[in-house]
Structure formats: C-alpha cells, structure tokens
Structure 1
Amino acid sequence: MQNNPVPQNEMERIISLSDYDIDYTAFQDQFKDLAKLAAKVAGTEVSLVNLIDTFTQWTITNHGLEIDQMPRDQSVCQYTIATENPFEVKDLQSDDRFKDKFYVVDEPKLRYYYGIPLRTEGGHNLGALCVLDKDLKSLSPEKIELLKIIADEIVNRLNAQKMITGLKTKLHDANESKKKVAHDIRGPLGGIIGLAQVISEQGKENEIDEVLEFINLIQRSGRSLLELADEILTTSKPVRDLKANEFNLLIFKDKLEKLYMPQAISKNIKFTVTTSVNSATIPFAKNKLLQITGNLISNAMKFTPREGLVTVDLSLKVEETRNILQINVTDTGVGLDQAGIDNIMGGIKTSTDGTGGEAGYGFGLALVKHLIDSLQGTLHIYSQPGQGANFEVILPQAP
C-alpha cells in the first residue's frame, strides 16, 4: 500500500491551522480574485486554494473546477505541504501515485499540477495554492515567482482574518467586563446612599449643619454614580443576534451538515445531526468547535463501514452561572479497546487505516484532546471493540 507523506512537524502544523479557527465554507469570496489571478499567471484552466487538516483537503476557493473537498489521502497537495518547496507533477496520468485518482481517470482528466505551500512565519504549511490543467504545461521562473507572491498574499489574508477575529473576541470580552464592573459597583453604591440617608436623618435631629451638607454631597455623588452604572447596564443589554465569534445550535448543525455530508455520501454512510430544541437559538462561542467536532466526525466515518451510521447530538444546558455545551459523536464502526482509549486520553498519536482503506495519519484525535484541554473542557470515550464508539465532549460556555 502506498505510504502517504506526512510533514515532520505535523502535530504543530495542525495545531497552527486550528488556531485560525477557520470556517471552510466562508472564504470563497475572499480569495476568488487570487485564485483567478493564479490561473491567469500560470496559463492553466484550474487554480485552487486548499487547506489541509488531519483527514480532509478543504478547497476554500476555486477557479475553473467546482470542488469543495476531498479526502486528504486522495490529494496531490498532501505532497506539497510535506516540503518547503513547490511541488510539480509534469504528468499526473503517467505518475503511479496519481494515475488512478478520480480527477485523473474521470473528468476533468487533469494532467499537470504545480503547488506552492501556504507557509506561515512559524514554518507551518497550512495548505497549498495549486494550478492544474488538462494539458501538459511548463512554467517559467518568472511565473513561479509570481505564484509565490500570490501564495504569500493568501497567507497574509488568513493572518488578517485571524487578527480581526481576535479583535472581535477582545471587544466582546471588554463589553462583558464593562457589564460586570457596572454590576459590581451598583451594590456598594446603593449601600453608601442608604447609609448616607440614615446619617442625614440623624443629622436633622441633631441640627448639625456641616454634617448635613457633607452627607448631602455624598448622596448626590452616589446617586450620580448609580445613574451612570444604570446607564452602562442599559446600553450593554445582551444582543441576541449572533456575533462574528458565535454560533447557536441551529447554525452549528447547519455548518456540520454542509461540511461533512459529502464525506458520508461518498462512503454511503447515514449521517444525522440533532439538536436540543429548548436552547437551539442561544448563542455560544464558536472557538475551535468546527475543528473539534469535524475531526471527531471524520474519524467516526473513517472507522465506520459502508451502510453504517454516524450521529452527532448537540445540546446546550443553561445554568445560573454558566452554560454547558455537550457534543456527542456516535458511530457504528469498529470500536476501540481500552488501550486505544487510553492512548487518546493521553494525547498519544496512533495511526490506523480506515474501513474503506482511508489512510491513517494519527494526529486527529490527539489534536481533539489538545483543543478540548485548551478550552477547559472534558472528553469521555465509551467504546468496545466491534460495537462502535461514542465520543462525548463537554465545554463550559459563558451564560
């Protein structure tokens, strides 16, 4: 069986990709101009911007070929991200690694490939900018340099999007802090005003003019601050519309179905996503949720045979001081023994090929455990060999 290439820094690479917290369905317009420019520069019919996670190559924008995703082990770009340099295949039809792939055997019957890693400053290849054609091609050094510039601009835009998302999160946190401060000062201020009122009434009985004047000043100042706190709270009432850094269960469900239903159809697996009804529209932070849940879904499909079942159950439990997001990914696959569960819980990478011959890279569940820990969440695994598996993720959320 063919060995699939894996970058030497693969764990660090997929952690770096997860830090961008990318919704793979949301970038088509942002990179459309660069994909078109790359095709024009290279003189090819097709140009793709691909990001590659543990299981899947996600095409976040395309030119000349309608494609959204493919299994990582079927892609040419998996070779591009395993090197620091561009990767070229002069003729896909005569290369043993690619001659049997669906995009070579069937339409569009591609022959030429040239890919440039999308490399971060930290040295992590998030994916690749690639140009492809049905005919054989040869790129001049000048064209290659222009393609490298375009690839750098793609990384720059990804970094800019990451910064914008971070700023929005900080702005949201600052607003929450403002509301907390307002709540915190209202209690003491109310106490001060009440105490001042008592002293003021006693002062009237004793006719202490200086004390009365001083106490009156305290009352006026206290009321002024209390009114200010009320104003802060009034202008900071929660907005129920979703912010850029939020999902609700309905949106989360829709994203998962759009991203992973094609994988289920490809393997003839029944895939369903359900949500709790009573909390379906309550917002929660979307930070790393697609990366965590997506890896669990892809892993479940990998180890579930054809005609099998993969279900995702999403629920949000509303509590007084916090909310609890629970994600259950259940499959009818080959299951795990206790040693396998212990490896996952210990963050140890293991590699096993899937039931359909899918390549195992061994980093997906290790990444899931890393991300859950970083969010102060918990992971539970319930499984026995031959009886499927249930991965339960519990993540605390702000109320």
Structure 2
Amino acid sequence: MSKNNALVPNNEFDRLLKLSEYDIDYSDIHGKLDDLTRLAAYVTGTPISLVNILEANTQWTVSNFGLDVTQTPRDQTACQYVVLSESPLEIEDMAEDERFNTKDYVTEEPHIRYYYGVPLTTPDGIRIGAMCVMDTKKNDLSPEKEEFLKIIASEVITRFEYEHKLKLMRDNVDELKEIQRKVSHDIRGPIGGIIGIAEILRDQAEESKLDEFMQLLELINKGGRSVLDLANDILSNYKTGEDDKAIPANELTLPVLQQKLKNLYEPQARAKSQDFSVNINGGLKDHSFPKHRLLQVIGNLITNAIKFTPEKGTIKVELELKSTPEMTLHVQIADTGIGMNESQVQEIMSGNPKSTAGTKEERGFGFGFQLARHLTESMKGKLSINSEVDKGTKITLQFPV
C-alpha cells in the first residue's frame, strides 16, 4: 500500500490505467449487469447486492439490487478496502467497526450491518472494484455461498472483457469505414472528372467527324465508368445521408457529451450546494467524434474541481468543436475553488502531485489529475492549467477528433 495513504494500493496508477482501458460509460452501463446482482442477492440470501467500480475519487455503482445508489465518495466506502487485497472482505457488524460505525448508511437508512465484498480482478490481476452483498442484520455466509459470489464476480469481469473487445472491434470497423469513405472520394472524384472531360471532347469530335479520336475517347469513357462501377460495388457497404444519421455507440456529439457530464457529476456538485453547468459553444453541435476515454479524462478533472471548490462555489464546463486547422474538441473546466500557486501548478504538471484534502476534508488520492494528464497525452491532446490561490482554477483541454 502507498506510504502517503494506507487505503491506496501500491499499483494504484496502474489500476486506474487498467480501468481506463475498459472505457466504461457510467451513464450508460446500468441494466447490463442487473441479472448478476439479482443472482448474488438470491444465492447469498441478502437484501442488497452491488457491483462497484473504484475510480480515483468516486465509487461508481454500475449495477444495484435492493439499494438505489449510483455513486459514492470513495473515502466513504467499504469497497475501498476490498481492492487492497486478493481476499474477500467480510464485516460481520458495521455498527461495531470503528471504520464504519459513524457512516450515514450505518447510522441512518438503510442501517447496513453486514458486508461481504469480493474483489473484481481482471485477467492480469488488477483489482478494479468489488462485487458486494449487504444485510440490515448480522449475517454469516457459508463457504458455499462465498464460492458462488466469487463465481458471479468472475462473470462480471468476463462481461467487462467482452464489452471491451466489442468496442475494439467497433473501432476497427469504423476505421475501415472511414478508409472506405476516403477511398470513395479519392476514386470517384478524379474518375468522374476524366469521364466528364472525355464526354466534352467526344461531343466536339462528333461535330468534327474525327472517328479515330471518338473511338479513343469512347474507350476512355467506358474504362472510366467501368472503374467507377467497380468502386461503387466495393464501397456499397458505406452508407451516407439519410441512412447514416444514427450516432454510433462509440461516438458522441456535443449535446450527448453535455448530458452525460450533467448526469454523472451534478449529484456530486449538488452534495456541496455548488453551481455546476455544462455549456456548448459554436455551431458544430451535430458533428460526431470518438468517445474513446473522453469521459474518463473530463470526469476526473471535474471531480477534482468539485473537491477543491467550497460549498456554494461554481464549476463551469465549456465544450466546443473547432474545425480549423483541423477538427479539435476544446474543453474548459473553470472553478471558483481554492486555487494553486505557480509552484503547485508546476508540481502537478510534473507528474508527481501530492495528495491533498478537499474543502470538506475529502480525502484526496492524488491520482485523478495524473491519470487525466496521462490519458490526454496518449490521445495526442493538450492540457494546460491557469490557477491563482483563492481565485480558482481553469483547466483547458484540446483533443484532435
């Protein structure tokens, strides 16, 4: 475990990188694992079952049974302890455990007493979260039930792996379609021009009765049309216009991205009575662009902004697509938080930031910005910070799309 924070695994950055590979859209995954959470509750005889994923600062509940919850600050959870070890974690009575006996979910509704969590471990041994069951009374799972829960947790990871492979396949297909589109343009344009010129010259040759010249032009015309027909056959799978209006699952438009960010992060801002807004600038609202890891990058930076902004502060997100000199997604996240001095900005941009507490003493894990910066660079994007102590922070992102 980390020396700076006893609840952070030694491989925390690698753990977050692995989680980013799955590229989970927390606003779109609900329902896909509900059969497994119901099964977990059934086989263990508990009223509550959850699948929880632990990001840098937030625990995302991607499937729930018996408890309506979607996100929780990571430092308030029991699952943060599960990712520290290969072994499951059992808490027989949370009301008697000093780590949890003051938590709202123990002292108030739903009055959780019993907890059992199994690590969600990827094929390469990275623990990204927990499959857990809970009870409002003391409980004790039998060895058979514990084994059943481990099997279900393994199936959760299998589905994540399956979804990840499907995304890679979709990306490859979309890349091929884009190549088709470009080839279509590159072939049809010049050949169409040749055919047009040939037809003009043929008409002129007819008037002058140049028979040999006409025959040559006719050969050019037929040859051009033959190649063009062949191109049309090869490219017939590529559809444009009315048949291609639906946005692919692995792409976003500015309005879709705007709504996802609101759905995911408004609850966190609301918990601190903050004014949170996501605005769109410019006119390219219908242009789609790859979704790949954008939510992970932007989300981590928004979470940090919320954490370091006091109650009733403001977090404003601005989204814009610019088409010159190339299509670029611009994202700006501005807050009225505690800000940073120049030395702190240099430190955080160096790749070795220190973990600090938020405005309500939220425990910082120190990896959210580091991950966002790493992913931005891997996507050939740019990230810059403008900050002043007690006056807030403005982070600007640019991604080629």
Contact 1:377 1:396 in 2 (8 A): yes
Match of 2:391 among 363, 387, 390: 387
Normalising by structure 2, we get a TM-score of 0.91
Does residue 237 of the first structure (1) align with residue 240 of the second (2)? yes
Which residue number in structure 1 is paired with residue 380 of structure 2?
376
Which residue number in structure 1 is paired with residue 42 of structure 2?
40
SS of aligned partner of 1:38? helix
Shift of 1:191: 6.4
Which residue number in structure 2 is paired with residue 125 of structure 1?
127
Q: What is the rounded CA distance, in whole Å, between the counterparts of 1:251 and 1:34 in structure 2? A: 29
Which residue number in structure 1 is paired with residue 272 of structure 2?
267
Shift of 1:132: 0.5
Kindly tell me: are residues 56 and 234 of structure 1, through their superposed partners in 2, closer, same or farther at Cα, counting changes over 3 Å?
A: closer
Match of 2:346 among 336, 342, 348: 342
Contact 1:269 1:310 in 2 (8 A): yes
SS of aligned partner of 1:351? coil
Q: What is the rounded CA distance, in whole Å, between the counterparts of 1:235 and 1:105 in structure 2? A: 59
Contact 1:86 1:114 in 2 (8 A): yes
Shift of 1:88: 1.2
Q: What is the rounded CA distance, in whole Å, between the counterparts of 1:4 and 1:269 in structure 2? A: 30
Q: What is the rounded CA distance, in whole Å, between the counterparts of 1:207 and 1:325 in structure 2? A: 57
SS of aligned partner of 1:99? coil
Shift of 1:338: 1.7
Which residue number in structure 1 is paired with residue 305 of structure 2?
300
Match of 2:81 among 76, 79, 82: 79
Q: What is the rounded CA distance, in whole Å, between the counterparts of 2:64 and 2:299 in structure 1? A: 22
Contact 1:344 1:369 in 2 (8 A): no
Equivalent runs, 1:163-242 vs 2, <5 Å: 163-190=165-192, 193=195, 216-229=218-231, 232=235, 235-237=238-240, 239-242=244-247
Which residue number in structure 2 is paired with residue 289 of structure 1?
294
Contact 1:240 1:283 in 2 (8 A): no
Contact 1:4 1:359 in 2 (8 A): no
SS of aligned partner of 1:316? strand
Q: What is the rounded CA distance, in whole Å, between the counterparts of 1:3 and 1:222 in structure 2? A: 70
Q: What is the rounded CA distance, in whole Å, between the counterparts of 2:128 and 2:153 in structure 1? A: 11
Shift of 1:129: 0.2
SS of aligned partner of 1:29? coil
SS of aligned partner of 2:376? helix
Normalising by structure 1, we get a TM-score of 0.91
Deviations 1:175-228 (A, max 9, x none): 1100111222235535665787799889x999896x976764443122221244
Amino acid at match of 2:158: N
Contact 2:120 2:130 in 1 (8 A): yes
Q: What is the rounded CA distance, in whole Å, between the counterparts of 2:369 and 2:312 in structure 1? A: 24
Mean Cα deviation higher: 358-367 or 222-231: 222-231
Contact 1:35 1:61 in 2 (8 A): yes
Which residue number in structure 1 is paired with residue 93 of structure 2?
91
Which residue number in structure 1 is paired with residue 251 of structure 2?
246
Equivalent runs, 1:5-24 vs 2, <5 Å: 5-24=7-26
Shift of 1:126: 1.3
Match of 1:353 among 333, 354, 357: 357
Alignment size in residue pairs: 394
Which residue number in structure 1 is paired with residue 30 of structure 2?
28
Q: What is the rounded CA distance, in whole Å, between the counterparts of 2:5 and 2:17 in structure 1? A: 23
Unaligned runs of 5+ in 2: none
SS of aligned partner of 2:312? coil
Deviations 1:82-131 (A, max 9, x none): 11111111111111111111101111110111101111012111111000
SS of aligned partner of 2:310? coil
Shift of 1:318: 3.0
Kindly tell me: are residues 380 and 3 of structure 1, through their superposed partners in 2, closer, same or farther at Cα, counting changes over 3 Å?
A: closer
Unaligned runs of 5+ in 1: none
SS of aligned partner of 1:28? coil
Percent of residue pairs identical: 41
Amino acid at match of 1:41: V
Amino acid at match of 1:368: A
SS of aligned partner of 2:134? strand
SS of aligned partner of 2:337? coil
Equivalent runs, 1:93-172 vs 2, <5 Å: 93-172=95-174
Contact 2:282 2:321 in 1 (8 A): no
Contact 2:116 2:132 in 1 (8 A): yes
Q: What is the rounded CA distance, in whole Å, between the counterparts of 1:4 and 1:70 in structure 2? A: 19
Q: What is the rounded CA distance, in whole Å, between the counterparts of 1:149 and 1:51 in structure 2? A: 18
Which residue number in structure 1 is paired with residue 62 of structure 2?
60
What is the root-mean-square deviation in Å for CA atoms of aligned residues?
2.5
Which residue number in structure 2 is paired with residue 313 of structure 1?
318
Amino acid at match of 1:237: T
Shift of 1:282: 2.2
Mean Cα deviation higher: 75-84 or 269-278: 269-278
Q: What is the rounded CA distance, in whole Å, between the counterparts of 2:248 and 2:269 in structure 1? A: 30
SS of aligned partner of 2:184? helix
Kindly tell me: are residues 45 and 198 of structure 1, through their superposed partners in 2, closer, same or farther at Cα, counting changes over 3 Å?
A: closer
Which residue number in structure 1 is paired with residue 370 of structure 2?
366
